[in-house]
Amino acid sequence: MWKLRFIFIYASWTALIAVMPAPIRADGSINGEIFLANGGAARSDGSLIRTHRLSAGIDAVQFLSNESGDWATAALQLRYANAQNLAMDNRFDNRFIQRNGDWSAEIHDAYINLRGMNGRANLRLGRFKTPFGLNPVIDFHTELIPSLAMSNGIPARRWGASLNGQLDSFDYEAAVLGGNLRNPLDKKAGEWTASARVQPYSDGVMQYGLSALWKHQAGESIQDGEQRAAFDLRTVFFAFNGTIEPRIELSVGRKGGKRIFGIEATADRPMDPWRLTLSARAHQDDAWAIASLRREFSGGPFSLAWETAFTQELTDPRRPALLMLFYTAF
């Protein structure tokens, strides 16, 4: 069933672009991607878990225009993947699960963004990134390690609609998302999410964003729902004959009447064609130190990425505070 749905969405998207009338022009790209990742995770009790993520798929973007200019952007991102991840990985499924190494089809992006008011008020419809924290501005779809939001219970993508645009002093996106991730027409899931992110313009290399999220499950009271607020920061500086790209994300909130939080500090060190990433993160229940090495190969409409990563669970959630200072200084 999943394979048929996978093929149907791709065929529908291709047909939509093909049958557009002549006054409407489509300009974009369709790229093939293969991602190979492997790694390990050491838990605080000394046990070791082998992790991997193998996937192949397409990443397509089309810009639709007419005599008046661009009026919409259509995106489609499909994967056929085999993954075995930590239980903290909430990249694709609706709730925490541990992927057991089975192959499955994945729909990452499948949306159209209709341009309005010269880009000030656009309407996005379909399946797209949840606008919360760094999730919408960094592409984690091929990364072995998920984003902070994903590892703390927020799905990377949902089906829904959003209002987004660029105003004089900031970018914004506000979305209402719901339905079952595996079947958007299944109303039994009954989970609805409202989230928004604002990113003020900056004259320098430092960028920051503010986010808020509210999630409600059918049958729950308002008090049992989930509310979060987040702050994220990204910058770039030169050191050690190269660039270092640190980023920090903080989130706090309540879930089921209990306080929750997430904190992460990450430093990326590009060393063309390699990239080294060091990260430390903590949630209300656990803490992790993460190191990964990645290399990408690209040529024409095809790209290949290889990554290896190791994750160490920390017994004291306060320990990442010290690691954050070290990694950011790196």
CB atoms under 10 Å from CB of 32, counted, come to 14
Calpha distance 10→29 (Å, rounded): 14
Cβ(151)–Cβ(281) below 8 Å: yes
If we measure between CA atoms, which residue out of 33, 60, 80, 37 comes closest to residue 304? 33
Q: State the pLDDT at residue 315.
A: 65
Q: Is the pLDDT of residue 184 over 60?
A: no
Which residue type does 120 have? R
Average pLDDT in the 292-309 region?
85
CB atoms under 10 Å from CB of 252, counted, come to 15
Calpha distance 9→75 (Å, rounded): 12
Average pLDDT in the 203-228 region?
82
Cβ(276)–Cβ(266) below 8 Å: no
Structure-token pair, residue 320: 């990442």
Beta strands 302-314 and 25-42 are parallel
Choose which CATH entry (3.30.2310, 3.30.450, 3.90.550, 2.40.160) describes domain 2-15+28-329: 2.40.160
pLDDT in tens, 50-96: 777 888 999 999 888 877 778 899 999 988 888 776 544 545 543 33
Q: Give me the sign of the Cα torsion angle 271, 276, 278, 279.
A: positive
Count of residues making up the chain: 330
The residues pairing with 215 across neighbouring beta strands, listed in sequence order, are 193, 226
Calpha distance 134→206 (Å, rounded): 14
**Higher pLDDT residue, 225 or 88?**
225
% of the chain with per-residue pLDDT over 70:
74
**Higher pLDDT residue, 276 or 149?**
276
Q: State the pLDDT at residue 31.
A: 87
The domain ranges of the chain are: 2-15+28-329
pTM for the model: 0.83
